[in-house]
Amino acid sequence: MSAALSSAELYQNVALEKERSVAILSNIADGIVAVDREGKVVLWNAAAEEITGVPTEEALGLAPAEVLQRDLESPGDTPTGERLVSIRRGGEEIWLSLTEAVMRDPAGAVAGRIFAFRDISAERVVEHMKREFVSNVSRELRSPLTSIYGFGETLLRDDVLFGEEERETFLRYITSEAGRLTGIVDRLLAVARLDSGDLQVHLAPTDVAAVVKEVVSAAEHSFGGSGHTFVLDLPPEQVEADADRDKLRQIVTDLVENAVKYSPDGGTIAVSVSRRDDTVEIGVDDEGIGIPESERNRIFTKFYRAESEGRDLASGGSGLGLFIAKELLAAMRGRIWVRPRDGRGSSFVFTLPLAGQALLSERE
């Protein structure tokens, strides 16, 4: 009787331990897959289902290579630690961080393997964007620095006598490139402040049309040689928004410069200001290649740069301008979006609260 009770207790303990293990494996965030000595799947937890998109009932009894179209085993009987592997999930490629453990029987032979993995596709995308960002910023910094160095070195030459007009031209180029360099550094500092929550905005009633006219006038001066035409559509009456004037100018400047960058020489850049109920709406239209629907939300994320035709790396850019614009507008209780234009190009639109509306909303 005592032996029978001991066996029953042992069986119950084993059953409870098995249930506990199943519960843990079912709720763990990592995908867990176990195969037997023949390499057939005997365990495929809920996280493995979610990560791979393959239901447990379809995986059990098959080799991982049959289920995922690639083998998970490392060569040989001794796993080499954490590895990165890619698999297909539907029509997309995803990347897994994979670790592997070998189970052995009392004789030392391989009795099975356990694989633990997690989806690191998002991290890889971020790392890729960071590398692109560093590369792009380095290129953007190098360009004005090269110009400043070149013109400065030329002016210091002892074997050439420059006339006053030539000297003034060189100094104008140096000043222009120094301003461009300052703009790049300001963007980097703005992102650092946004990340730390230290970026300040000072809201006040701001004449939006006046700011837009300033920006377009500066763009006509800077990009006049490219043959672009700038068209303004402003309301007859003054329209004021609750905004930080300097931040508003920065946003409009970035959008206008983007419109010039992505429009063909001789293209038309249209900038409009209008009142929409209790908001002020500003639009910047270009005649570029346009932005695919799949990228219209992603272009406002940090480091992201659209890679559709006509918007490739050759056009430069750090992938920060639209991210900064979105964050600045959020701080000013505004929002920004992009929509396709009829025919060709894109229209970037953002809104700000009409002057006094933010205060009314707070009181309500």
Q: Record the tokens describing residue 307, joined without a space.
A: 């890679």
Please spell the DSSP secondary structure of 317-344, one letter per residue: --S-HHHHHHHHHHHTT-EEEEEEPSSS
Same domain, 254 and 296: yes
pLDDT at 100 over 50: yes
Instruction: Give CA–CA dist 223/298, Å, rounded.
Output: 28
Same domain, 216 and 84: no
Note down the domain range covering 300: 204-363
pLDDT of residue 360: 46
Task: Return the higher-pLDDT residue of 241 and 312.
Answer: 241
pLDDT of residue 248: 95
Domain at 137, CATH number: 1.10.287.130
CB neighbour burial string for 233-255, b if at least 16 within 10 angstroms, e if fewer: ebeeeebbbbbbbebbbbbbbbb
Q: Among residues 196, 214, 244, which one ends one of the domains?
A: 196
| Cβ-contact 236, 197 below 8 angstroms | no
Task: Return the higher-pLDDT residue of 133 and 112.
Answer: 112
Residue 351 makes CB contacts below 8 A (sequence gap 6+) with: 276, 279, 280, 281, 282, 334, 335, 336
Same domain, 310 and 212: yes
Task: Return the higher-pLDDT residue of 24 and 275.
Answer: 275
pLDDT digits (tens, 9 = 90+) for 216-240: 998 888 776 678 889 999 999 999 9
Instruction: Give CA–CA dist 88/232, Å, rounded.
Output: 49
Same domain, 236 and 321: yes
pLDDT digits (tens, 9 = 90+) for 292-334: 877 887 888 876 766 544 444 334 456 678 888 999 999 999 9
Mean pLDDT over 79-107 rounds to 87
Count of domains for the chain: 3
3-state secondary structure at position 347: strand
Q: Among residues 145, 168, 196, which one ends one of the domains?
A: 196
Task: Return the higher-pLDDT residue of 326 and 77.
Answer: 326
pLDDT digits (tens, 9 = 90+) for 126-150: 888 778 777 777 877 888 888 888 8
Mean pLDDT over 271-277 rounds to 93
Residue 48 has a CB neighbour count (10 Å cut-off) of 26
Its pTM stands at 0.59
Same domain, 213 and 346: yes
Mean pLDDT over 178-189 rounds to 82
Q: Among residues 119, 151, 184, which one ends one of the domains?
A: 119
Q: What is the overall mean pLDDT for the chain?
A: 83
Same domain, 242 and 149: no
Same domain, 73 and 130: no
pLDDT at 247 over 90: yes
pLDDT of residue 344: 78
Same domain, 137 and 175: yes
pLDDT of residue 107: 87
Domain at 71, CATH number: 3.30.450.20
Same domain, 94 and 130: no
pLDDT of residue 316: 47
Mean pLDDT over 165-169 rounds to 87
Residue 159 has a CB neighbour count (10 Å cut-off) of 4
